[in-house]
Amino acid sequence: MIMNSQKILFICMGNICRSPSAEGVFRKILSDRNLHQEIQADSAGTEGWHTGSAPDKRAQHAASQRGIDISGLRARQVIAEDLEFYDLIIVMDHENQSRMRHLAGEQHGHKIRLLLEYSERFSDTEVPDPYYGGDHGFDLVLDMIEESCEQLIQHLIDYNSRHLSE
């Protein structure tokens, strides 16, 4: 059980494919584990091209095939205040990691992690952007996200259990 509320922000470039998918998957796992009151999730993009847009229809379809509804999410661009507010900032690839580290500076750089750092199944370091590919890319991305989010949540539970017992 997690006693201190945790706030997690998922980041990709446009906030219409990978990061809203990660937000949706993460929230579903939290709900399934009855942790949705203790851990918050949001998503944003490093670029503002799609601000206000719903996730890509292909991302919505792939998520819905797994019982996850991301249709109500809307793209937004990350803002400086996010770095202060969120406890952990999870990025999908090295380019966005670099952008976020630049924005975060020394004060908040320690909060930034690649999602696949939490994966035990995938040896890749980046969740590929499926935007320019076919439908199969969205399924692969969801496989990566689901497994990594399961591991991330377990990491948060284990971390908080260790620190609560100290």
User: CA-based angle 69:73:78, to the nearest 5?
Assistant: 140
On whether residue 49 sits in a domain, the answer given is: yes
On whether residue 152 sits in a domain, the answer given is: yes
Burial bucket for residue 77 (CB in 10 Å: 0-12, 13-18, 19+): middle
CATH number at residue 151: 3.40.50.2300
pLDDT digits (tens, 9 = 90+) for 18-52: 999 999 999 999 999 999 888 999 999 999 999 99
The boundaries of the domain holding residue 26 are 6-164
On whether residue 1 sits in a domain, the answer given is: no
Calculate what percentage of the chain has a pLDDT beyond 90.
86
Residue 18 a catalytic site member: yes
162 CB-side CA count, 13 A: 5
Domain count, the chain: 1
Q: Which of 17, 18, 76, 82 is catalytic?
A: 18
Q: Which of 12, 17, 56, 93 is catalytic?
A: 12
Residue 12 a catalytic site member: yes
Q: Which two structure tokens, joined as six digits, stand for 106?
A: 């020394």
Q: Which of 56, 82, 93, 129 is catalytic?
A: 129
Residue 17 a catalytic site member: no
